[in-house]
C-alpha cells in the first residue's frame, strides 16, 4: 500500500518492484520482433514493441501511482503525449481551448496541425480560460503556466467542463504529480513532459498521459500505437530510475525556488517576481488550495535582455538553458523563443544546490558590476 506515505516514500515505493534480487540491472528486453508468439494465437501479451512491452509497464505503473490514475501511457516526449491527447479529444468542427500563456509549441501544434483539420482553436490565458471553456468542446489547461506561472483553478474549470461534457486535459509538467494531482481536482486526463523535473537529470526526453476513464485511455493507447510516438526502452528505464529520487530533488527545488523568490522580490534590480508560493503572489490563494508543493520555477523581470545575460555571466552557479527541472539552477530568457513576455523576463529553474550557496551566488551576481 502506498497511501499515507510522504512524497519521497511514495516515489521510492512506486519503482521498487524493479528491485528483483538476481535480475540484471537495466532495461528489460523489448520484444520488437515477434519471437514471443505462441500456438495459442491471440493470448500473448507482448507481440510487438510498439504496442506494449515490459519496460513501459514498469514505468507506467509508477506514473499511475504518482498521478493517482488507473492507467498511465508513456510517450516519446511531452509533445507526443499532448498532441496524441488533443487528437483524441477533438473532431472536425469541435471547439478546442488551448493556453495562450502556456508552452508555446502546443499553441503551434494546435494552429498548424489541428486548425487545418477543421478544429476551431481558441487561445485563452489562465485568467480567461473559465469563460472560454463555457463555449468549448475540449479544454487543455496548463498550471502553473510556463513561463508566466499563473495558476488555473482546476476545481472551478473542471466544473464548467463537466457541465458541458467537454473533456478537460491538464498539462502537469511544471507542478509534477508531487506538486498537484489534477485528476483528483476533476481533470479527465493529465499530460506531461517527464523531460523536466520528473526525470530531472536533463539527459532524457519523455512524456506521458495518465487518467482513469477506460474509453479515453484506450483511444489514446490506440493513437500511440498507430502514430508510433513511442518511448524507447532505455529511456523508459532512465525515467523509472529517476522517479525514485524525485521526492528529494523536487522538494529541494521547491525550497530553493521559494528562497530565490523571497530574496529577489526585494532586490532593486528585479522589477517583478512570480512564484505561486509567495503569499503576496496573485495566484497564491488558488495555488495553496490545490497544490501540495509550489514547484521549482520562479519568473523574474529584469531591466532588459542584457541584464539577464549579465546575471548568468556573473554567477558561478547559474547556467543558461531552455529546458528546466534539472539538477542545476538554470535561466531562460523567454522572449528569445517568442513567448509574449518582456525582453528582461527570465524563467529561473531552481536546482538542487544548497539553498544558502544558491542565494549568496545569485544575489552577488545581481550586485556585481
Ligand atoms: C517542455 C514542456 C512540454 C513539452 O515537452 P517535451 O518533452 O519537450 O516534448 C510541454 N508542456 C510544458 C509545460 C513543458 O514545459
pLDDT surpasses 70 at 26: no
pLDDT score at 12 = 82
Tell which one of 76, 81, 104, 105 to mutate to probe ligand 1, the residue whose CB is within 8 A of the most ligand atoms.
Answer: 105
The CATH number of the structural domain formed by 246-367 is 3.90.1150.10
Write the secondary structure of 224-259 as one string of H (helix), E (strand) and C (coil).
HHHHCCCCCHHHHHHHHHHHCCHHHHHHHHHHHHHH
Tell how far the Cα of 44 is from the centroid of ligand 1, in angstroms: 34
Which of the pair, 30 or 249, is modelled with greater confidence? 249
Is there a catalytic annotation at residue 104? Answer: no
Q: Which ligand 1 atom sits nearest the alpha carbon of residue 205?
A: 7
Examine the pLDDT at 49 and tell me if it is beyond 90: no
Distance 198 CA to ligand 1 centre (A): 12
What kind of architecture, by CATH, is found in domain 7-242? 3-Layer(aba) Sandwich (3.40)
> Mean pLDDT, the chain, as a whole number?
93
pLDDT at 5: 83
Say if CB 361 and CB 314 are below 8 A apart. Answer: no
Percent of the chain at pLDDT above 90? 83
Output b/e per residue, 45-78; b: 16+ Cβ within 10 A. Answer: ebbbbeebbbbbbbbbebbbbbbebebbbbbbbb
* pLDDT band of 41, cuts 50, 70, 90: confident
pLDDT at 347: 97
Given a cut of 60, is residue 40 above it in pLDDT? yes
50 is catalytic: yes
Specify the ligand 1 atom closest to the Cα of 145.
Answer: 13
* C-alpha 193 to ligand 1 mean position (Å): 5
Cα(300) to centroid of ligand 1, in Å? Answer: 20
- Say which residue, 21 or 138, is predicted with more confidence: 138
Which residue out of 103, 130, 208, 275 is catalytically annotated? 103
Identify the residue whose C-alpha is closest to ligand 1 atom 4: 78
Burial 251-260, CB ≥16 within 10 A → b, else e: bbbbbbbbbb
Q: Does the structure show a pLDDT above 90 at 13?
A: no
How far lies 44's CA from each of 31, 50, 52, 220, 306, in Å? 12, 14, 11, 21, 60
Whether the predicted pLDDT of 22 surpasses 70? no
- Residue 368 confidence (pLDDT): 79
Lowest mean pLDDT among 18-22, 252-256, 309-313, 326-330: 18-22
Beta bridge partners of 254: none
Whose C-alpha lies nearest to ligand 1, atom 11? Answer: 103
Residues lining ligand 1, CB < 6 A?
Answer: 77-79, 82, 103, 142, 146, 171, 173-174, 193, 195-196, 205, 207
pLDDT at 186: 98
The answer to whether 213 is a known catalytic residue is no
The answer to whether 314 is a known catalytic residue is no
The CA 323 to ligand 1 mean position distance, Å, reads: 9
User: For 73-111, how does the pLDDT look when each residue is reduced to its tens digit (9 = 90+)?
Assistant: 999 999 999 999 999 999 999 999 999 999 999 999 999
pLDDT band, residue 52 (cuts 50/70/90): confident
For position 175, what pLDDT does the model report? 98
Among residues 218, 168, 232, 208, the alpha carbon closest in space to that of 66 is found at: 208
Q: Where are the domains of the chain?
A: 7-242, 246-367
Q: Whose CA is nearest to atom 5 of ligand 1?
A: 78
**CA–CA separation, 21 and 95 (whole Å):** 52
Expressed in angstroms and rounded, the spacing between residue 204 Cα and the centre of ligand 1 is: 12
Q: 319-320 and 330-333: which strand pairing?
A: parallel
Tell me the C-alpha to C-alpha distance, in Å, between residue 123 and each of 86, 98, 106, 345.
Answer: 14, 5, 11, 22
Looking at residue 349, what is its pLDDT?
97
Q: Taking 80 as the threshold, does the pLDDT of residue 36 lie above it?
A: no
For ligand 1, what atom is nearest to the CA of residue 207? Answer: 7
Give the percent of the chain with pLDDT over 70: 94
Q: What pLDDT does 86 receive?
A: 98
Residue 42 confidence class, pLDDT cut points 50, 70, 90: confident
The least confident of 20-24, 102-106, 126-130, 217-221 is: 20-24
Range with lowest mean pLDDT among 41-50, 148-157, 197-206: 41-50
Amino acid at each position: 500500500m502506498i497511501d499515507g506515505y510522504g512524497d519521497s516514500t511514495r516515489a521510492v515505493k512506486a519503482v521498487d518492484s524493479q528491485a528483483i534480487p538476481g535480475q540484471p540491472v537495466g532495461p528489460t528486453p523489448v520484444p520488437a520482433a515477434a519471437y514471443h508468439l505462441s500456438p495459442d494465437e491471440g493470448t500473448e501479451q507482448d507481440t510487438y514493441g510498439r504496442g506494449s512491452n515490459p519496460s513501459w509497464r514498469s514505468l507506467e505503473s509508477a506514473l499511475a501511482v504518482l498521478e493517482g490514475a488507473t492507467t498511465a501511457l508513456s510517450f516519446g516526449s511531452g509533445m507526443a503525449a499532448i498532441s496524441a491527447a488533443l487528437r483524441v479529444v477533438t473532431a472536425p468542427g469541435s471547439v478546442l481551448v488551448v493556453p495562450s500563456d502556456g508552452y508555446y509549441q502546443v499553441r503551434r501544434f494546435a494552429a498548424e496541425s489541428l486548425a487545418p483539420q477543421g478544429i476551431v482553436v481558441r487561445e485563452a490565458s489562465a485568467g480567461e480560460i473559465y469563460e472560454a471553456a463555457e463555449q468549448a468542446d475540449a479544454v487543455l489547461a496548463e498550471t502553473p503556466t510556463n513561463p508566466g506561472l499563473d495558476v488555473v483553478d482546476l476545481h472551478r474549470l473542471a466544473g464548467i467542463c463537466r457541465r458541458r461534457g467537454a473533456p478537460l486535459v491538464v498539462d502537469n509538467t511544471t507542478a509534477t504529480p508531487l506538486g498537484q494531482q489534477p485528476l483528483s481536482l476533476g481533470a479527465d486526463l493529465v499530460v506531461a513532459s517527464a523531460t523536466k523535473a520528473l526525470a530531472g537529470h536533463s539527459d532524457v526526453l519523455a512524456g506521458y498521459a495518465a487518467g482513469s476513464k477506460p474509453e479515453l485511455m484506450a483511444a489514446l493507447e490506440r493513437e500511440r500505437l498507430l502514430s508510433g510516438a513511442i518511448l524507447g526502452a532505455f529511456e523508459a528505464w532512465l525515467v523509472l530510475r529517476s522517479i525514485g529520487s524525485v521526492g528529494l530533488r523536487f522538494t529541494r527545488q521547491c525550497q530553493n525556488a521559494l528562497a530565490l523568490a523571497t530574496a529577489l522580490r526585494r532586490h532593486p534590480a528585479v522589477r517583478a517576481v512570480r512564484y505561486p508560493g509567495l503569499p503576496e503572489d496573485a495566484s497564491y490563494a488558488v495555488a495553496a488550495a490545490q497544490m501540495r508543493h509550489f514547484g521549482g520555477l520562479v519568473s523574474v523581470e529584469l531591466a532588459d535582455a542584457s541584464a539577464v545575460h549579465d546575471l548568468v555571466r556573473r554567477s558561478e552557479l547559474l547556467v543558461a538553458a531552455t529546458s528546466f527541472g534539472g539538477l542545476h539552477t538554470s535561466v531562460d530568457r523567454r522572449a528569445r523563443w517568442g513567448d509574449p513576455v518582456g525582453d528582461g523576463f527570465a524563467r529561473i529553474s531552481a536546482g538542487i544546490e544548497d539553498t544558502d550557496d544558491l542565494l549568496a551566488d545569485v544575489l552577488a551576481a545581481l550586485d556585481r558590476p
